A and B are shown apart, each in its own frame.
Chain A
């Protein structure tokens, strides 16, 4: 570890001789910095999307897990249903939802002016279970209260959680694609730079420069450019995330929470590591082709 840190420090400090042998080139420098900045900006959003969807899936799954609703055709059946539920092992709580609470739940959907008192609302019992045999409960309800409907929320909760999981996966796919495109752009820039410096490379070889020495001059330069660009893009991306409107309980906003804000810091570091590997591989490959 110590040796690795020493190597990283030496890399950041640079080798003045290796750095000087290649003339600065504006086009590839700008291309690398701008593309790294743009990709880091997008990566911040992809990361935020992935994390937010992960949280959303967990919230939806967690909040409704262990709950169910029993729908009854009329209020007379409530007493029988409550008795049955209380006698069922694993049912932690069974609560009759009063009509005014039902109306409060419906008001956001129908507006305040609709006379909800006139609507034929079913009788609802909110169930909190803790390891109850729901299949057995359903069978008993079918025998004693055939018109009662037990809703465990699986019908709509499952697809929502699956959708959130897919969005999270989409975020990771976006991150992978962004990393791939970044590597491709940097490789292209390195190849362009090497081709533009063909004469310089010829001179260096004439005086006995090893490929690794020539490559080093390009690697450090492109790595630092990628680091600079990605750091700028990350700062801009995080600023843009901060400026997004806050979400609500149902659809939380895109962003990071708590220690999650530290994760974007990895983006410039990973971009620099990717640039290092891509530049080294491209430079050594091109130098081999130049034989």
Chain B
């Protein structure tokens, strides 16, 4: 579904990584780790076409990102749910509208997905915050709201960048459980994190493939963790 083939990326004259290949297939669970500044977030952004690689090929759902029409890229993004460490929202809209935003952008409001909005908010434990605006939410609530927004379109892939970075352990565990549930329902999951406890817990629950970005290369790190 998402294929990175011999990807290189340079920023400000500095080669962040090169010759990186990664395939996120249906039902796969990947954990991407590495020290700060190695390019985890960049690799994640390359996965959903937010950045263009300086070398190699990115394919989203079988189509080459290079030369992809902007509308097609937008449509591809609807099939990918993204959760960022700094979950960003439209601060002037209540939580309900923020979570339903992907539906609004796809002209699918009023459909089956919107009817499930209540269930989705209950799933992430935010039923009581439905009318609150994002600035009124805690860090953990924002992360769970971002997860709810990421999955409301039933995406085939969920990308999470340091999803537990700003929240306590209890909330991290809960968020991981939600991601594991999504994976068990057939969705591909990629988590970028340097949280060792989270990695170990994920490995114990699912068949997670752990990858490490080091010296500009992507290597398997499962055995060491």
Contact = CB atoms under 8 A, between A and B. Distances in A.
Nearest to B97: A20
A211 B69 CA distance: 11
Given A200-B90, A202-B88, A207 B70 contact: no
Contacts, number: 57
A227 to B, nearest CB: 24
B175 interface: no
A203 B82 contact: no
Contact of B105 (A199, A204, A288): A204
A85 B82 CA distance: 97
A23 B90 contact: yes
Contacts of B71: 210-212
A213 interface: yes
Contacts of A199: 88
A195 interface: no
A17 B88 contact: no
A208 B92 contact: no
Given A204-B105, A210-B71, A20 B77 contact: no
Given A21-B104, A203-B101, A204-B105, A209 B88 contact: no
B206 interface: no
Interface string B53-86: 0000000000000000011001111100010100
B90 A203 contact: yes
Of residues A21, A208, A211, which shows the largest number of chain B Cβ atoms within 10 Å of its Cβ? Answer: A208
Interface in B30-61: 50
B106 A208 contact: yes
Interface in A188-221: 199-200, 202-213
A127 B127 CA distance: 96
A23 B77 CA distance: 23
A210 B102 CA distance: 11
A14 to B, nearest CB: 14
Nearest to A202: B88
B102 A207 contact: yes
A288 B70 contact: yes
A208 B90 contact: no
B74 A210 contact: yes
A208 B82 CA distance: 11
Given A210-B70, A211-B70, A203 B105 contact: no
5 contacts: A20-B93, A23-B91, A203-B88, A203-B90, A209-B74
Interface of A: 17, 20-21, 23, 199-200, 202-213, 288, 291
